[in-house]
Structure 1
Amino acid sequence: MSDAPTTPPAASPEAPQHPSSSTVTATPRGMHPLRKRALLTVTAVVLLAAIAWALYDWLVLRHEEYTDNAYVQGDVVQITPQQGGTVTAIHADETDRVQAGQALVELDGADARVALAQAEAALGQAVRQVRTLYVNNASLQAQVGLREADLAKARTQLASARQDLQRRQGLVPGGAVSAEELAHARTQVAGAQSTLDAAQAAVRAAREQLASNRALTDGTPVAEHPSVLAAAARVREAWLAVRRTVLPAPVAGYVSKRVVQLGQRVAPGAPLMSVVPLDALWVDANFKENQLGVIRIGQPVRLTADLYGGKVVFDGRVVGLGIATGAASALLPAQNATGNWIKVVQRVPVRIALDPQQLRAHPLRLGLSMEATVDVTDQDGAMLAEAAKPEPLARTPVFADAEQGAEARVREIIAHNLGTAAAAGS
């Protein structure tokens, strides 16, 4: 083995050159400036958003109560007959617009017209019977006079018979009058006394009959006699029955739920169709029980309908708060005292009135979904209604003129059956 120093092999040109530790450049250990700037920007945006949301909650949200559990409600006026009959005509169908007083259904009125004719005839007969009572007053007065004349005649005959008896009794001692003549005179006195008694009884009977007849007529004209008034009431009743063969619309609105058919025999109170006035709708918004503490009557409400979306906003007003939850008002209320129990947040309906002008511009339908936001800033209103409304909740003048014409017909019948004597007595 040679002692010559060995020469290290030459570095291959393909071998990588590794720098020594003394020649490596140091890199900073902190975050890259771009990344740091991005994180700061995001943090600032989040903080600003949080501050903005806090301000929005403080200035706006805490003064509002919102629910999407709200639905359009309204009156559903049922059309029901007041008397039975067979349907002969139908004047309105589903979705038709009708006006108040417009005829909707007609019933067969033949029976009602016959009953009216009978009532009119009965009224005329009652008037003539009452006229007879007034005429009988004069006849009975004449009978009283006749009986009094008979009484006076009987008294005269009795006095004459007594005088004859006295004369004969004075002649008996002298023998001028026989016992037979005296007995005959006594018989005449007894007969005259009986005639007098009968005449007195006849006078009393005639006077009592006159008083009884006068009790039926005194102080009352023919047209106001109870018998005439009762017959006139039956005429009005029959008149109403004829008028009620035509069923009018109590209010203006749209026809819904028509179930009546031609030729159908309907009974009183049977629902035939309904009329819905779409210009008097309201919204029942079901708020959670923990939202009711700040809701008051009179607070303004902002509403939107799924039908129109957010482009149409309805202005409403709280007019009443329900006195029971939906569960308590259900047909089968919850029985929370039995079995396992899970607490469920209850809801109470809040009635919200709508602007009629907005309803005319943007019609709604019953049952449509709504979103309601109540402005609860004003806390001066009441939570419950404090007094009943002084005026009726609803009123219709359609049936007010049902008797129109009946009174004129009654007066016509009475005047036709009145005579000169009855008119003078009345």
Structure 2
Amino acid sequence: MTDTNTGGGAGSGAGAEGAPEKGSVIHKSKRKTLLMGLGGVVAVAAVLWGGYEFFIGSRSVSTDNAYVAGENADVTPLTSGRVTEVLVTDTQPVRKGQLLFRIEDKDQKIALAEAEANLERAKRMYGQSLANNEALAAAADANQAQIDTARANLQAARADLTKATSDFTRRNALAGSGAVSTEELTSAKQALDSAQAAFEQARAALKQAQASAVSARQQEQAAVALTKGTDVETAPEIKLAQARYDAAKLDLERTVVRAPIAGVVAQRSIQVGQKIQNGSPAMVIVPVDKLYVDANFKEDKLGQVRAGQSATLTSDFYGGDVEYHGKVVGFSGGTGAAFSLIPAQNATGNWIKVVQRLPVRIELDQDELKAHPLRVGLSMEAEIDLTSER
């Protein structure tokens, strides 16, 4: 029994020497060759990848996180009123200056008529002020003439007073000798008193005339000061009325709303009969011929990107058959996370580093845009040539 088992074991060993080990699929003699071949393939792939990165990959950076954008024009009325007519719809192309909608203009026409009347009234009042200045100047001259008259009257009254004084003095000296009667002396005294009163009255009249002349001249100067150095075009009250007239006229013109730029109408939010307020949004115009691309590159790929470098782009809208060419014009002032409504607060709590993306603006070729129009928000793939001239 023992010999048989031993012999059986020897036979088994002999059989194993010429056959693969139990559980092995590949013969041991071929395994080394296969492993060496696999290692060679990995080495070749590594060399090829390294060569690609050195000669090709390092010359450009690319991203598929890119979107078409544009400087859209918000159409907002600059006057309030009821919408009476809307002439465009969403998706409709429009030219710059094309009529978009109208606002009821009855209130604006009334305001314009009132402003026009006030302007005409201001012009007439200015003319009246000029005529009043002339009247005040004539009155001041007349008061000056009255001063001369009052001065002459004062001279005459002084002469009469001197004569009356002399007559009374002479008669009063002769009254004691009986050469002059009491009645004659009394008459001389009355004449003296009358001459004295007339003199005082003439002197008061002169003072009054002088005061009136000064007052009239001051009134003239005050009136002239309001119009001095002005004419019917530059008078302040006329310029104010003119400004109000221009504002009313502008409000009337603003009841007709036109396209500020050429593009495609989007987000129209007004209807006929709707009351619209000054500054409320009515629609948006997208300038499809002046679009650009915001390409969101990872921060670790932007070290060699500079403004002026050329870029090649493709759109999911047209596929890879249509290529757009452009150039880098600038970088955003911050990452998307920095400008989000709720910025990340990495200073507190658990923190995991996340590679950030920075928007890079790429200007597109205008001729290519006209040949293959794009729309805001479309996805793009962008590749920047790092070796291009800056």
Amino acid of the residue matched to residue 58 of structure 1?
A: F
1:348 equivalent in alignment to 2:358: yes
1:71 Cα offset (Å) = 0.9
Aligned residue for 1:320, secondary structure, equals strand
For structure 2, which runs of at least 5 residues remain unmatched after alignment? Answer: 1-17, 21-26, 172-183
Q: What does 1:162-177 correspond to in 2, within 5 Å? A: 162-175=158-171
Amino acid of the residue matched to residue 305 of structure 1?
A: S
1:44 Cα offset (Å) = 7.2
- Cα RMSD (Å) of the superposition? 2.7
Matched residue, 2:245: 235
1:51 Cα offset (Å) = 4.1
Matched residue, 1:129: 125
Q: What does 1:102-181 correspond to in 2, within 5 Å? A: 102-175=98-171, 178-181=188-191
1:36 Cα offset (Å) = 11
Which region of structure 1 is more displaced relative to structure 2, 130-139 or 112-121? Answer: 130-139
1:267 Cα offset (Å) = 1.1
TM normalised by structure 2 equals 0.84
1:293 equivalent in alignment to 2:298: no
Q: Distance in 2 between matches of 1:201 and 1:312?
A: 96
Q: Distance in 2 between matches of 1:58 and 1:144?
A: 101
1:159 Cα offset (Å) = 0.8
Q: What does 1:164-203 correspond to in 2, within 5 Å? A: 164-175=160-171, 178-203=188-213
Matched residue, 1:71: 67
Q: What does 1:261-276 correspond to in 2, within 5 Å? A: 261-276=271-286
Q: Distance in 2 between matches of 1:223 and 1:374?
A: 61
Which region of structure 1 is more displaced relative to structure 2, 143-152 or 173-182? Answer: 173-182
Amino acid of the residue matched to residue 256 of structure 1?
A: A
For structure 1, which runs of at least 5 residues remain unmatched after alignment? Answer: 1-26, 382-426
1:280 equivalent in alignment to 2:280: no
Amino acid of the residue matched to residue 148 of structure 2?
A: A
Which region of structure 1 is more displaced relative to structure 2, 109-118 or 314-323? Answer: 314-323
1:373 equivalent in alignment to 2:383: yes
1:42 Cα offset (Å) = 8.1
1:184 Cα offset (Å) = 1.2
Bigger fraction of residues in helix = 2
Matched residue, 1:310: 320
1:77-112 C-alpha deviation (Å, 9 max, x unpaired): 111111211111111110001111111121111111
Q: Distance in 2 between matches of 1:367 and 1:193?
A: 97
Amino acid of the residue matched to residue 341 of structure 1?
A: W
1:158 Cα offset (Å) = 1.0
Q: Distance in 1 between matches of 2:345 and 2:268?
A: 38
1:322 equivalent in alignment to 2:332: yes
Q: What does 1:219-230 correspond to in 2, within 5 Å? A: 219-230=229-240
For these two proteins, the number of residue pairs brought into alignment is: 355
Q: Distance in 2 between matches of 1:137 and 1:43?
A: 111
Matched residue, 1:363: 373
Q: Distance in 1 between matches of 2:111 and 2:119?
A: 12
Q: Distance in 2 between matches of 1:314 and 1:41?
A: 44
1:339 Cα offset (Å) = 2.2
Matched residue, 2:223: 213
Aligned residue for 2:164, secondary structure, equals helix
Aligned residue for 1:87, secondary structure, equals strand
Q: Distance in 2 between matches of 1:219 and 1:252?
A: 48
